[in-house]
Amino acid sequence: MKLIIDDKIPFIRGEAEKLGEAVYLPGAKITAEDVREADVLITRTRTLCNKSLLEGSKVQFIATATIGFDHLDVDYLREAGIAWTNCPGCNATSVAQYVETSLLLLAEEGKINLSDCTVGVVGVGNVGRRVVERLERMGCRVLLNDPPRAEKEADFAKHAASLSQLQAECNVITIHTPLVMGGAHPTLHLVNADFLKDLKRRPILINAGRGEVVDGAALSQALDEGWVSDAVIDTWENEPSINRELLRKVYLGTPHIAGYSADGKANGTRMALQAVARHFNKEVTFEVSAPALPEGYSYYPEMAVTPDSPLRLYNPLRDSEALKAHPEDFEKLRGDYPLRREC
């Protein structure tokens, strides 16, 4: 069996070889010629898996070691008989950690009062659930918005909130939806100028979901007009060529790394390998885990924090400062992301 693997997927070398011949290539540069004789493709979001890449290849199975799968042309894959999987929930705790630590920084600067804060969570799936747990632990009042889930789950629908309720009541709105282009509940530019103009409490907007859910130009205008008081943006339109004007305006701007803890990466790698093994009926045990941290570790040692603060293990300010200093290095900062552990 031949496997083509994105070379930025961590903890996979030495484990994928248990399945067959493993070839590691930069995800954004994988070509049709590269995959022509491959049986398996293990990827991240940087490889567009569509007809132009896969037609005429031997690929039978694609595993993306990520939650998101909008880089997969699932209609073409179905037509071509190529099975695929993503890794739902693999980095949910990591994203929740990102939201929690961002809010702690905002609170330290007096931008929010966590004891009197209403947070709207848009998208309450694997990631959104973990975010809600953190918010409730911090003492926030939480409103949940997820129309597709409300349609399927009567119990959830009883306490679900509408977007208009979030617009009226929230001090913070945090986005955790997938990118959905059509159907009954599309999310492309769900947060647009009309949505932002109707916000009543000048909330802080957090996007750690998919970049295209938020209209970046409209958000830039909203910051200028005061429709929102601030923003924390991890996922962007047109990555890696992001809106640099918007980056300069936001409180925190990071290079799509909210889910990039070592723990989340290890989960995604393990889940992807296990999916390949299941598909080909191979009994293989994979030993994939995040490395231990050195004693006294602090993610951002230049900023003093108490030993028990979540900011010791992760502080998004470090990542924001790096991106704002070198936005041209978006892909490098993401690809060479440092060790980070969950709390």
189: Cβ–Cβ under 8 A, 6 or more apart, which residues? 212, 213, 214, 215, 218
Question: Which one is catalytic: 71, 134, 210, 334?
Answer: 210
Residue 341 bears catalytic tag? no
**173 HSE (CA, 13 A, CB side):** 31
Question: Which one is catalytic: 15, 133, 239, 331?
Answer: 239
| 3-state class (DSSP) for residue 172 | strand
Query: Could you say which DSSP state residue 187 is in?
Result: -
Query: Does residue 240 have a cis peptide bond before it, meaning omega lies within 30 degrees of 0?
Result: yes
Residue 239 bears catalytic tag? yes
**14 HSE (CA, 13 A, CB side):** 5
Torsion, CA 229, CA 231, CA 237, CA 242, rounded to 10? 110
Residue 340 bears catalytic tag? no
Question: Which one is catalytic: 130, 134, 256, 270?
Answer: 256
| The two three-digit tokens of residue 43, written as one number | 């990827």
- Give the residue among 177, 119, 169 at the shortest CA–CA distance from 148: 177
Alpha carbons 111 and 37: distance in angstroms, whole number? 55
Alpha carbons 268 and 44: distance in angstroms, whole number? 10
**DSSP H/E element including 54:** helix 51-54
b/e per residue 310-325 (b: at least 16 CB within 10 A): bbbbbbbbbbbebbee
Show which residues are catalytic. 210, 239, 256
